[in-house]
Structures are given as structure tokens and as C-alpha cells.
Amino acid sequence: MSAYLLGGSLPVERLGLGTMRLTGPGIWGPPHDREQALRVLRRAVELGVNLIDTADSYGPHVSEELIAEALHPYPQGLVIATKGGLTRQGPDAWAPLGRPQYLRQCVEMSLRRLKLERIDLYQLHRIDPQVPLADQLGELAALQSEGKIRHLGLSAVTVPEIERARALVDMASVQNIYNLTRQRHHDVMEYCAREGIAFIPFFPLQAGALAGPGSVLADIAARYEATSSQIALAWLLRQSPVTLPIPGTSRTAHLEDNLAARHIELTPEDAALLTRQHADSP
């Protein structure tokens, strides 16, 4: 599995780490086991992960602070991607806020918490429908011109929204929900592949309901002597060279299990069977 050039300039291994699960219940507050969360981050880097995805709303602020505590000073080549533009009102509560002055504050505070001078990839967590897109992206572009952001990305968007955004600024990545059971953003992934934009699928492992004994996923996993989660990640990696899954976990054992998917090469027949079997899953 070859590395991917994020934004055409940053080499990253295609299986990264998402850090949403390093927070408390409802993605709110600190983790139950802070030391374990720090071990997950350090172990991921030890195992070759060099793309870590986070957001200021995870906690809020908790996962960014944990990343800095665990890994700063950062090893050469580590790419930290963060996001802003969502506010938190409590556990499992999220609301977009895209006013330019707020987005500037988000970037400045993420820089401080992560102990960075420049964020390699900064993603607008949600487009705020109450604020002109040109105002939201214009402020991020201004921060980019100031040297505080290297590359820009979007999250939870459609193809028309990506096209509108690209008419305003260059986009290095798109982050959408995508996994075996939720393939409705396949058009976005195909668009990203055509345009050379990284496609970062979040929630890549929502396949638990399909992995029971006798299921297609479980049968294929048994043939590869792998877990169902590993097969689900291997399927994602096979979808396109621009696909960069970011499975998250709060346990080192689960992290190591996920990363073993890097060594699984699904046959075209097995990949197609998984796609057909689950394409219309709810």
C-alpha cells in the first residue's frame, strides 16, 4: 500500500487515526482513561501512522490537547489535520457556526492547543447555511495566506458544494461518512478520485450489524484469517487510491488490530461481493 501525497505535497500513509473516540461519552469531556488515550496516540506513531485527524469540537478541545501532550515535539513527517466550525452545547450536541471571526478564533486556538505554527490540513467541519460560503472560506484562505494553514479541506459535503468551494479556494481533502453499510457518498468519492482530492471516510467501521456468523463479511474475514473490521478497512482502502480511512479507538489492542488491515489485499471478486451485498444497507 503506497503512501498518498496529501495536497500534492504531504506524504501520508493511507490508514490514519481518528481521535474523536479519545474523549468522554457523547464526545464530551475527558476520556475515562487518560493514560490509555495517550498510549493510543504514541502507539499509532510507533506503528507508522503519520496522519492524525482531530477537531476543536472533540471534547471540546480535549483531543487536540491530548495530541500535543502525547506527541509534541512532533516527529518529522507527522501530519495533524484538524477541523473547526462546529460548536458544542453538550454531549452529542453539535451546531455549525461559520462566522469569519469565529473561524479565525478556531484556527488560532487550535494552533495554540496543538503547539503548531501552521496546521497542515484545516477542514471546515460543516458549512454554515446561515453564512455565505465565500465569507467562510475567504477567512480560511486569509489564514492560509498568513501561513497559519497549509491545505484546506471540507467535511460532510455534496459534489455541488465541493464545486462551489473550489471556485473560491483550492481544496486538498473532503471528509464524509462512508463505509460498507453507508455508501451513499460514492459519487463524492468518485469526484475526489477524478480531481485528485483526498477522500477521508469517517466512521469507517459501522459494519458490526453485518458481521455476525454466516454473514458475507464474516465468511470473507475467515478466508483471509482476519477480523471483520480488518476486512471492512481493506475494502475501503481498495475503493480508490485517494481514500484515507481514519478509524478511531480508545484502546491500543483495537488500534493494532485496525492497522493490520494495511497488509490485506482483497481480490477484486471479494471487494465487488462486499459492495453488492451491502450497497443498499440502511
Catalytic residue, from 4, 58, 122, 178: name it.
58
**CA 179 to chain CA mean position, Å:** 12
H helix and E strand count, the chain: 10, 11
Catalytic residue list contains 74 = no
User: Residue 14 corresponds to which cell in the numbers above?
Assistant: 493511507
CA–CA separation, 211 and 251 (whole Å): 21
Q: Are 231 and 217 in contact (CB under 8 A)?
A: yes
Measured CA distances, 161 to 106, 127, 133, 226 (Å): 22, 9, 9, 38
> Nearest 5°: phi and psi at 156?
60, 60
Check whether the bond before 60 is cis (ω within 30° of 0): yes
CA–CA separation, 139 and 128 (whole Å): 13
Residue from 229, 246, 237 nearest 266 by CA: 237
> Nearest 5°: phi and psi at 178?
-165, 125
CA–CA separation, 240 and 129 (whole Å): 30
Residue from 4, 148, 8 nearest 84 by CA: 148
Q: Which residues are catalytic?
A: 58
